[in-house]
């Protein structure tokens, strides 16, 4: 006998990378050397001070019990200092910061906190699949808004306004998901974009949820937070994490920053789901947030070398791309001669043993695109170029 699944289990499917990486592992087990350019899994180490702090904290007898649901005061204070130094944003560490088990957890908590069944959620037509998947899991109505390719993948605000459900009815549009620097297209964040987003949220009485993990990676100008915009705290929540910016993806250390009422509301849900985080992780994250500007510059210098190599790789594939992209990935358009991105990616994996991500996994508009990660050494990227040229 098989117990029937809940409806939500049939409304989504296993994450593409979960399935594809199993195939990659099978090929590796068969003796093939796979160059994985598909995953945004930072391969460089956290700072030495971060590791040392983790070890010292784990050796303390008092480090192994339950911790506060809101994380430790030193961590929240470190996040506040990080926001002040990095973005020029002032946050109250006691009331406006909530540590998370990675910002991906925040997507679920925000959805559980604010969405009723049938409520509308504005999701970009190209974006992190979790925005759509979690919205569907909680029974919300996904409203896919267009991105304008020839305007640097900016939102189509007029089309978005037309999608907003009548907020005078019982079921209404509640949330808009935004993510700049944008994944997968690499479109940069700008003050003008964020100002427009905050105005839109005020005008339509929406909760503006901004996912901001890429602002320190290959940024071509000072990084910007949505919360730096006048009026943002009234309508916005920002998610951030140490996964990409501090090489700590597996640590699952993130946070949300918002006005106190939003933090308190999400804490109501979160405190019924988990029991806090491991204190050595909290202590190490506190230390990581004090990494110097030089540490970040050195890491970006490595990514710049890889970026040049990835451009050569894409040139060998006949793809086209823009050079103003920010973040851990390069978004590239396939040549007209390619009929199917899925077939192209599969043949590249099976024939050349190089894996890249097909763009359609981020939304149907990505069907003519691929995404390439910078989380592989320059030497391995150059090896991938050689394989393509053979």
3 state SS for the chain: CCCCCCHHHHCCCCCHHHHHHHHHHHHHHCCCCCEECCCCCCCCCCCHHHHHHHHHHHCCHHHCCCCCCCCCHHHHHHHHHHHHHHHCCCCCCCCCEEEECCHHHHHHHHHHHHCCCCCEEEEECCCCHHHHHHHHHCCCEEEEECEEHHHCCEECHHHHHHHCCCCCCCCCEEEEEECCCCCCCCCCCCHHHHHHHHHHHHHHCCEEEEECCCCCCCCCCCCCCHHHCCCHHHHEEEEEECCCCCCCHHHCCEEEEECHHHHHHHHHHHCCCCCCCCHHHHHHHHHHCCCCHHHHHHHHHHHHHHHHHHHHHHHHHCCECCCCCCCCEEEEECCCCCCCHHHHHHHHHHHHCEECEEHHHHCHHHCCEEEEECCCCHHHHHHHHHHHHC
**Along the 390 residues of the chain, how does pLDDT read in single tens digits?**
788 877 777 766 556 777 777 888 899 999 999 999 998 899 999 999 999 999 999 999 999 999 999 999 999 999 999 999 999 999 999 999 999 998 889 999 999 999 999 999 999 999 999 999 999 999 999 999 999 999 999 999 999 999 997 655 556 899 999 999 999 999 999 999 999 999 999 999 999 999 999 999 999 899 999 999 999 999 999 999 999 999 999 999 999 999 999 999 999 999 999 989 999 999 999 999 999 999 999 999 999 999 999 999 999 999 999 999 999 999 999 999 988 888 899 999 999 999 999 999 899 889 899 999 999 999 999 999 999 988
Say whether both 138 and 53 belong to one domain: yes
User: Is there a domain that residue 2 lies in?
Assistant: no
> Of 265, 288, 311, which marks where a domain is finished?
288
User: Is there a domain that residue 14 lies in?
Assistant: yes
Say whether both 249 and 379 belong to one domain: no
Q: Which pTM value belongs to this model?
A: 0.93
Q: What radius of gyration do the chain's Cα atoms show?
A: 21
Say whether both 38 and 137 belong to one domain: no
- Indicate the number of domains in the chain: 2
The residue range of the domain holding 54 is: 48-288
Say whether both 366 and 266 belong to one domain: no
CA atoms of 36 and 261, how far apart (whole Å): 42
> Of 243, 273, 288, which marks where a domain is finished?
288
Say whether both 36 and 162 belong to one domain: no
User: Is there a domain that residue 305 lies in?
Assistant: yes
Q: What is the CATH number of the domain that holds 345?
A: 3.90.1150.10
Say whether both 108 and 249 belong to one domain: yes
Say whether both 270 and 351 belong to one domain: no
CA atoms of 368 and 57, how far apart (whole Å): 48
Say whether both 238 and 258 belong to one domain: yes
Q: How far is CA 139 from CA 115, 119, 135, 273, 318, in A?
A: 8, 8, 6, 19, 41
Say whether both 30 and 105 belong to one domain: no
> Of 244, 268, 288, which marks where a domain is finished?
288
Say whether both 372 and 356 belong to one domain: yes
Say whether both 246 and 361 belong to one domain: no
User: Is there a domain that residue 253 lies in?
Assistant: yes
Say whether both 125 and 102 belong to one domain: yes
Question: What pLDDT does residue 40 have?
Answer: 87
CA atoms of 296 and 311, how far apart (whole Å): 22
């Amino acid at each position: 006998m098989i117990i029937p699944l809940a409806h939500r289990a049939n409304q989504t499917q296993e994450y593409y990378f979960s399935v594809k990486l199993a195939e990659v592992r099978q090929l590796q087990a068969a003796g093939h050397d796979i160059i994985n350019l598909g995953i945004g899994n930072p391969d460089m180490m956290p700072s030495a001070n971060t590791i040392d702090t983790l070890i010292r904290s784990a050796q303390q007898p008092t480090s192994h019990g339950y911790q506060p649901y809101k994380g430790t005061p030193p961590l929240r204070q470190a996040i506040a200092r990080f926001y002040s130094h990095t973005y020029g944003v002032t946050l109250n560490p006691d009331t406006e910061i909530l540590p998370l088990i990675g910002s991906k957890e925040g997507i679920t908590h925000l959805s559980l906190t604010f969405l009723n069944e049938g409520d509308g959620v504005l999701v970009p037509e190209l974006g992190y699949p979790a925005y759509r998947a979690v919205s569907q899991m909680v029974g919300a109505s996904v409203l896919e808004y267009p991105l304008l390719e020839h305007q640097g993948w900016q939102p189509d605000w007029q089309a978005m306004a037309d999608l907003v459900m009548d907020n005078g009815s019982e079921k209404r549009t509640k949330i808009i998901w935004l993510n700049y620097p944008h994944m997968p297209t690499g479109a940069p964040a700008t003050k003008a974009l964020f100002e427009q987003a905050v105005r839109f949220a005020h005008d339509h009485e929406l909760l503006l949820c901004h996912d901001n993990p890429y602002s320190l990676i290959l940024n071509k100008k000072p990084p910007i937070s949505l919360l730096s915009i006048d009026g943002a705290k009234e309508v916005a929540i920002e998610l951030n994490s140490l996964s990409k910016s501090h090489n700590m993806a597996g640590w699952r250390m993130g946070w949300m920053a918002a006005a106190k009422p939003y933090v308190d509301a999400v804490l109501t849900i979160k405190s019924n789901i988990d029991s806090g985080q491991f204190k050595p992780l909290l202590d190490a994250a506190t230390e990581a947030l004090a990494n110097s500007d030089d540490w970040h510059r050195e890491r970006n210098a490595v990514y710049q070398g890889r970026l040049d190599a990835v451009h050569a790789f894409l040139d060998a594939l006949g793809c086209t791309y823009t050079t103003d992209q920010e973040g851990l990935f390069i978004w590239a358009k396939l040549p007209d001669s390619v009929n199917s991105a899925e077939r192209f990616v599969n043949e590249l994996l099976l024939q050349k043993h190089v894996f890249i991500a097909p763009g359609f996994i981020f939304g149907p508009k990505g069907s003519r695109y691929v995404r390439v990660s910078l989380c592989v050494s320059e030497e391995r990227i150059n090896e991938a170029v050689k394989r393509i040229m053979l």
